Amino acid sequence: MQGQHIIQKYTRRWQLLRWLEGVLYGLGAGCFVGLLSGSILFGVLSFGIITLVSLVFIKPWKIDFETVTQFIDTQLDTAEYSSSLVLLAPQELSGLAQLQQDKVTEQLDSDLNALTPRTGLKKAAIVSLLLVIFGVLASHFGLFKSSSLSAPEQEQMMSLQSVDSVTPGYVAPVLKDQKVTLHYPEYTRLPGRTSRNMNVKVVEGSRLSWSLDFEGKIQSAVWEGLGEVRDMRISHNAIAQRDQSSATITVRPLSSGYYNFRFTDSLGSNYTSEIYAIEVTPDAPPELKVKELAQFTSFDYDDTKEIQFTTQITDDYGIAGAEIIATVTKGSGESVKFREERLSFDQSIKEGSKALQLSKTIDLDALKMELGDELYFYVMARDQKTPRPNITRSETFFAVIKDTVSDGFGVEGTMGADLMPDYFRSQRQLIIDTEKLISARPELTENEFKSRSNELGFDQKSLRLKYGKFMGDEADSGIAVQPDIDIDDFDADDPTAGFRHDHDTENEHNLVAEEDHDHDHEDTHDHGDEGEDSEEKSFLEDYLHNHDDPEESTLFTESLRGKLKQAMAEMWDAELYLRLATPEESLPYQYKALKLIQEIKNSARIYVHRIGFDPPPIKEDKRLSGDLDEIETTNKQDDLAKEDAYKAMRQSVKIIEDRIVLKEVLTDEDKEAFAKAGQELATIAINEPAKHLATLQRLKWLTEDKVQPVNIWRKVQKGLSNALPNTTEKSPERSGYKGTLEDLFIQELKTRD
């Protein structure tokens, strides 16, 4: 069995090499992809995939004893084409075969080690090596990198400029390390970040901490920027007999802007850093998308009154909540009533998630909507920003349950007139009906006639009572007058509440509370059905000033009151005769009442009379003789000259030009002008910080004591003139010389005139 063992070992070796071949391909490809993409994940992934694919092609498991023996037979002469013999059990073999088996086994034992199995290992090694080399080269030279994908962060060390004109002779403190740490607001759940790049971009509400390490002693350090100057905290320590200082500061920037550092070393020399930018990006409000919903939906009374929709909400740092604000309107015209409700979505909202898909089914019946009612709703989402969240609301959607009855005028079927409820019968209608009754008397039975007359009497009473309300009369029957003050409306804090008619607030408890209201009306007391009660409760309230005395409680002037009283007296009489089934006698009273009511109506309507303005006539002798005594000469004074907002910038451009031409040095006034110009430029630079940063920086250099080369001056001048807005056209100065020639000329002109 020794021979079989040898073959087995060889087979295993061969298989291993083939496996290895596959892995090599995978390794090469993995390294290549990993280097190119710069991501380990991609590398591992492609390693796995390529290894698998190449193994499928290579099929190392296909190598078995048969292929091995065949291979040995072809490759190894000493095997004498009998290697397969070794695999067989000696018992099954003939003697000769056994001899041959022994011989071959011996041969194989000695020779097989020298025989390398046929593999593509070399090729695989070369290919993977090439791939790795290529990958390294490509990643080194950035062959496949698009520049925008991974622009290397600018991480230059700050360069410190000596502010003083004379550079100190001793060794100045050296900046060893600079760090800026960004602490994002907590709600963003972003980890803090530390960078050496001093130009920072942060989210609104972030905190920034700078820490600068120096070799050498620093006396003081100042952070200048965003319109303020703040001292930095300095700490000293000595490591290995060398002075070390570090300066730290934490700032919470509220707006974009610039900053720089200024240091004073132990000997009083000043240094300033370059100017860096802080860009504060606001937290974007959540984005809302309402899907599967038309702007306007209408339902018939027998439809399933349900609205279904989904909403997609996304936010950059996390959503705090979302809800639906629904408003139900009842009625129309002036009597419209609103009721607001806050609905939540069917799913619960996971606070802090960045994207949400929410759905909602609104059942209109559950909102107690009736025919003709309308529903307006919108979706509102807010994010986690503190202290005040960003709120986004969707557009408003409408749903309406179509009313089956509409109040429009129409002539329908046999009905020639629009029938109004009985008690709204007017005096005129009563007269018409009474006359009709009288004319129809012959055809009617006695009872019928009396009953109809009685009915008319009732109508007359209703009408009287209706007018009586205006008079403040207490009703004796029918439409009841309820107590004016609703106990529920009483507010302990506000004793006058019940006496006022706060129409604006009447409906308030039906509206959704404002976002920052702490208490919720709905929780404290439920007025659910009260709205309908209060609608009926005090018809009079709107008109009366009820001061207990019904005689005083009226809207009308005395004469009107008298008229109305008279009219009601007439109505009493008219009713009396109608009740007595003598409509003929009732008619005169009705006419009188009608006439009085008409008069009252007309007198009340005087304000709507539209007539032109008739000025009182002016007497002829007064015409065109206006009295101007009170019209006096006036004299006013104003300074309207516009102050040039960029005066110092203009001045600086000129100063630079003059100094360059005359080869002069900058004076202190010049520097003052430059400092002012810097402030003016900063107002322009707010909008485009990157564009003007360099100019601001150089302008600052010019204000320092150190002398700057002319090309820096020129650059400042260039930046300033670039930033300056155009001016309006100005009037030039006309100057001239007046001499003998001019005198002669003028003399000549005069004589010619």
* Residue ranges that bind other proteins, judged by CB under 8 A: 628, 631-642, 650, 653-654, 656-658, 661, 714-722, 724-742, 746, 749-750
Q: Please say which residue, 54 or 717, places its beta carbon nearer to other proteins.
A: 717
- Is residue 189 within 8 A of residue 215, CB to CB? The reply is no
CB of 666 to other proteins, least distance (A): 16
Identify the CA nearest to 393 among candidates 516, 286, 317: 286
CB of 165 to other proteins, least distance (A): 25
Q: Please say which residue, 2 or 722, places its beta carbon nearer to other proteins.
A: 722
CB of 728 to other proteins, least distance (A): 5
Q: Please say which residue, 514 or 638, places its beta carbon nearer to other proteins.
A: 638
Q: Please say which residue, 148 or 633, places its beta carbon nearer to other proteins.
A: 633
Three-state SS across 659-707? Answer: HHHHCCCCCHHHHHHHHHHHHHHHHHHCCCHHHHHHHHHHHHHHHCCCC
CB of 663 to other proteins, least distance (A): 10
Quick one: tokens of 740?
A: 């003998």
Q: Please say which residue, 248 or 721, places its beta carbon nearer to other proteins.
A: 721
Q: Please say which residue, 85 or 681, places its beta carbon nearer to other proteins.
A: 681
Q: How far apart are CA 103 and CA 552, in angstroms?
A: 142
CB of 408 to other proteins, least distance (A): 48
- Is residue 325 within 8 A of residue 496, CB to CB? The reply is no
CB of 265 to other proteins, least distance (A): 35
CB of 646 to other proteins, least distance (A): 9
Q: How far apart are CA 87 and CA 80, in angstroms?
A: 15
CB of 694 to other proteins, least distance (A): 13
Q: Please say which residue, 313 or 693, places its beta carbon nearer to other proteins.
A: 693
Q: Please say which residue, 362 or 702, places its beta carbon nearer to other proteins.
A: 702
Which residues have C-beta within 8 Å of that of residue 197, sequence separation ≥ 6? Answer: 153, 154, 155, 180
- Cα-to-chain-centroid distance, residue 311: 16
Chain length of the chain: 753
Indicate the DSSP class of residue 620: G
DSSP conformation letters of 546-613: --S-TTT--SS-HHHHHHHHHHHHHHHHHHHHHHTT-HHHHHHHHHHHHHHHHHHHHHHTGGG-----
- Is residue 326 within 8 A of residue 394, CB to CB? The reply is no
Q: What angle do CA 511, 351, 377 make, to 5 degrees?
A: 30
CB of 625 to other proteins, least distance (A): 13
Burial (CB count within 10 angstroms: exposed 0-12, middle 13-18, buried 19+), residue 549: exposed
CB of 119 to other proteins, least distance (A): 58
CB of 746 to other proteins, least distance (A): 5
- Cα-to-chain-centroid distance, residue 367: 29
State the maximum Cα–Cα separation within the chain, in Å, rounded to a whole number. 166
Q: Please say which residue, 335 or 726, places its beta carbon nearer to other proteins.
A: 726
562 φ, ψ to 5°? -60, -45
CB of 545 to other proteins, least distance (A): 51
Which residues have C-beta within 8 Å of that of residue 31, sequence separation ≥ 6? Answer: 43, 47, 128, 131, 132, 135
Q: Please say which residue, 89 or 628, places its beta carbon nearer to other proteins.
A: 628
Q: Please say which residue, 164 or 742, places its beta carbon nearer to other proteins.
A: 742
**Long-range pairs for 534-538: beta carbons < 8 A, 24 or more residues apart:** 534/486, 534/506, 536/482, 537/482, 537/486, 538/481, 538/482, 538/484
Q: Please say which residue, 31 or 720, places its beta carbon nearer to other proteins.
A: 720
Q: How far apart are CA 276 and CA 689, in angstroms?
A: 10
CB of 682 to other proteins, least distance (A): 19
- Is residue 460 within 8 A of residue 583, CB to CB? The reply is no
Q: How far apart are CA 598 and CA 593, in angstroms?
A: 9
Q: Please say which residue, 590 or 651, places its beta carbon nearer to other proteins.
A: 651
Q: Please say which residue, 568 or 656, places its beta carbon nearer to other proteins.
A: 656
Which residues have C-beta within 8 Å of that of residue 296, sequence separation ≥ 6? Answer: 397, 398, 399, 400
DSSP conformation letters of 122-170: HHHHHHHHHHHHHHHHHHHHTTT--TTTTPPP--PPPPPEE-SSSPPSS
Decide: helix, strand or coil at residue 467.
helix
Decide: helix, strand or coil at residue 211.
strand
CB of 745 to other proteins, least distance (A): 9
